[in-house]
Chains A and B, each alone.
Chain A
Amino acid sequence: MAGEAQRRGGFTPYALLAPGMLWLVLFFMVPIWFLLQTALSKADAVGNTSFVWRWANFSDSWTSYQHQYLLSFRYAFIATVLCIAIGYPLAYVVAFRGGRYKNVLLGLVVVPFFTSYLVRTLAWKTILQDQGPFVRFLRDVHLLSQNGHLLSTSWAVIGGLTYNFLPFMVLPIYVSLEKIDPGLLEAARDLFSSPARAFRKVVLPLSLPGVFAGSLLVFIPAAGDFVNSALLGSPQTRMIGNVVQGNFLETLDYPSAAAISFVLMAIITVLVLIYSKILGTEEIA
């Protein structure tokens, strides 16, 4: 018996699981059922909704907001790619060159995120504004035309999304790099592999699970986000999250808002499944 990590426990494990699982079923699974029900409802003139199997809500949500759906996925995709571009080398440097400061360097990645999400995004508004030194510099070096702007453009929104979700990319990549046995790299070197080749053949494949997990942790929240577009963007950068938020909380058009939200969730689930099939990763988180 001794040394066995797990044991059979009869009822004990179920008793331990019960409160948490019950909460998730009641407040995660059941609400999705109600979301679907609302998505199939019809609103009357006073705003009361009645369940009538109105499937057209789904097709309407796509035809009316196709542009916002596609924009959201495009922004989320670009933000994910940028997060990999910025986050991978950062995680690499921390994991392989951090030495005794590894934990400090990793901590520095997370520390900015102890201030409020909204306040940080407002700070970007300060940085990107037309009178700010950053825009002035970009105009001076002609990276931006003399009356070019950053704020209220797609790039401000994408920059905000990249910024706000960057740690979700760095941490999983770091974890997978950190797990690599230094012996493997030594072996590669002993077998006359160049550093570039060792990276391509050893480090990169072993870190792909981290990139996979990071991409999901960035893409999914970015696709549904409406804060960055609301604070840094303009009506032209409205993402699908802004539509859901507006229809739910401002126009109180519950059936259409629920339908859009449901379609968004369905598309993302399908994308995640395809992505995990391609990368062949069994474990999602």
Chain B
Amino acid sequence: MAVLEAAPPTPTAAHSSAEAGGRYAPRWLRRTGNGALNGWAVFAYLYLFAPIVVIILFSFNNLNGITHPFNYTWRGFTLENWRHPLGKFPELGDAMVESLKIAFLASLIATVMGSLVAIALSRYRFRGGALVNLLLVLPLTTPEICLGSSLLTLFLTRGIELGFVTILIAHVMFCVSFVALTVKARIRGFDWTLEDAAMDLGSPPLRTFRKVTMPLIMPGIIAAFMLSFSLSIDDYIITVFNAGNTVTFPIQIFTEQKIAVPPQIDVLATMILAASFLLIGAGTTLRLVRENRLAAG
């Protein structure tokens, strides 16, 4: 019965005869090994979630009345922070709005450009494909600090004023690669003959694109957009080099943590977490509905 616990490989005749032959580690050792492996995974999840638990918990920390609160020690439970999500720190909200604007625009531009690159790469045979792939991968194998600082030298040398636009340029730059590679991976193996079939049946190119191509590659594109959005809204290292006087949420937090770490930061972080959960939930539901509809014909 101990062998059964070593699933997923279902014990076969060969399995047990080999065991009888003594080629296997003793049963107790295998059981301990299995337990240790699962335990290790549990430990890894605890490690991954420890700060998240702290963020949620400390969003209820009672630091009211302190002008420059450092939310590091627990001083009692309160709902006050949630009742006033910005509290005495309206600049947190402004920075968040700025971040949302940049993330939305940057992901939109990067998703369009990156998806076109991905379609070109997976759909057509042309000269220079290897070079295009290299140019897509290089930004990912360059440290962010080098990406950010090199863009800064460009803007400084050309006398371009730093601000919203330069942040946008930087974010689109690092998102394009992620989009192109994500979409490319998702549409690999896509059956392009479906397009030909539609055309053969007399569908004009635009209609074919709208009715056949788009629905098939859309899930990949949506995933790429969401990835870009989360990369952009969270970026600090590249942004700080190209921000000038524009303040995004990460920049605000990095500056603020020297003088105060109000619990409202944790409130906003918890809200973002909840929103992403809802978004993922909605996305999954939509996908299931779509798949069911496709399956139903």
Tell whether, in the assembled complex, residue A123 and residue B181 are in contact, meaning their CB atoms are under 8 Å apart. Answer: no
Residues in A with CB closer than 8 Å to B48 are: 108-109, 112, 163, 166
Q: Which of B23, B44, B147 contacts A86 (CB 8 A)?
A: B44
Q: Which of B52, B125, B136 contacts A112 (CB 8 A)?
A: B52
Tell whether, in the assembled complex, residue B157 and residue A34 are in contact, meaning their CB atoms are under 8 Å apart. Answer: yes
Q: Measured between C-beta atoms, what is the minimum distance from A266 to chain B in Å?
A: 10
CA distance A118 to B24 in the complex (A): 48
Q: Measured between C-beta atoms, what is the minimum distance from B224 to chain A in Å?
A: 12
Tell whether, in the assembled complex, residue A34 and residue B9 are in contact, meaning their CB atoms are under 8 Å apart. Answer: no
CA distance A107 to B72 in the complex (A): 29
The B interface, classified by DSSP as helix, strand, loop or mixed, is helix
Query: A17-B116, A87-B44, A192-B18 in contact; A34/B269 too (CB < 8 A)?
Result: no
Tell whether, in the assembled complex, residue A97 and residue B143 are in contact, meaning their CB atoms are under 8 Å apart. Answer: no
Tell whether, in the assembled complex, residue B153 and residue A258 are in contact, meaning their CB atoms are under 8 Å apart. Answer: yes
Say if the beta carbon of A196 comes within 8 Å of chain B. yes
Complex: chain A residue closest to B279, CB-CB: A114
Q: Measured between C-beta atoms, what is the minimum distance from A281 to chain B in Å?
A: 12
Residues in B with CB closer than 8 Å to A220 are: 141-143
Tell whether, in the assembled complex, residue B249 and residue A116 are in contact, meaning their CB atoms are under 8 Å apart. Answer: yes
Q: Measured between C-beta atoms, what is the minimum distance from B5 to chain A in Å?
A: 11
Tell whether, in the assembled complex, residue B254 and residue A24 are in contact, meaning their CB atoms are under 8 Å apart. Answer: no
Tell whether, in the assembled complex, residue B12 and residue A37 are in contact, meaning their CB atoms are under 8 Å apart. Answer: no
Residues in B with CB closer than 8 Å to A32 are: 146, 150
Residues in B with CB closer than 8 Å to A123 are: 50-52, 54-55, 58
Tell whether, in the assembled complex, residue B142 and residue A194 are in contact, meaning their CB atoms are under 8 Å apart. Answer: no
CB-based A-B contact count at 8 angstroms: 279
Query: A117-B236, A192-B23, A285-B181 in contact; A86/B139 too (CB < 8 A)?
Result: no
Tell whether, in the assembled complex, residue B150 and residue A34 are in contact, meaning their CB atoms are under 8 Å apart. Answer: yes
Tell whether, in the assembled complex, residue B120 and residue A17 are in contact, meaning their CB atoms are under 8 Å apart. Answer: yes
CA distance A94 to B45 in the complex (A): 11
Tell whether, in the assembled complex, residue B58 and residue A126 are in contact, meaning their CB atoms are under 8 Å apart. Answer: yes
Say if the beta carbon of A244 comes within 8 Å of chain B. yes
Residues of B bordering A, CB below 8 Å: 6, 8-9, 12, 14-15, 18, 21, 23-25, 30, 37-38, 40-41, 44-45, 47-52, 54-55, 58, 71-73, 112-114, 116-117, 119-126, 132, 135-147, 149-154, 156-157, 169-170, 172-173, 176-177, 180-181, 192-193, 196, 230, 234, 236-237, 240-241, 249-250, 253-254, 257, 261, 265-266, 269-270, 272-273, 276-277, 280
List 4 extra interface pairs beyond A127-B50, A225-B237, CB under 8 A: A112-B49, A119-B266, A261-B150, A264-B145
Residues of A bordering B, CB below 8 Å: 1-9, 12-14, 16-17, 19-21, 23-25, 27-32, 34-35, 37-38, 86-87, 89-90, 92-94, 96-97, 99, 107-109, 111-127, 129, 131-132, 163, 166, 185-186, 189-190, 192, 194-196, 216-217, 220-221, 223-227, 230-231, 241, 244-245, 248-249, 254, 257-258, 261-262, 264-265, 268-269, 272, 284-285
- 23 A-B contacts (beta carbon < 8 Å): A1-B196, A4-B193, A12-B124, A13-B120, A17-B116, A19-B116, A20-B117, A20-B176, A27-B154, A27-B173, A28-B147, A32-B150, A86-B40, A90-B40, A96-B8, A120-B51, A123-B58, A127-B54, A196-B25, A221-B144, A248-B149, A258-B149, A272-B141
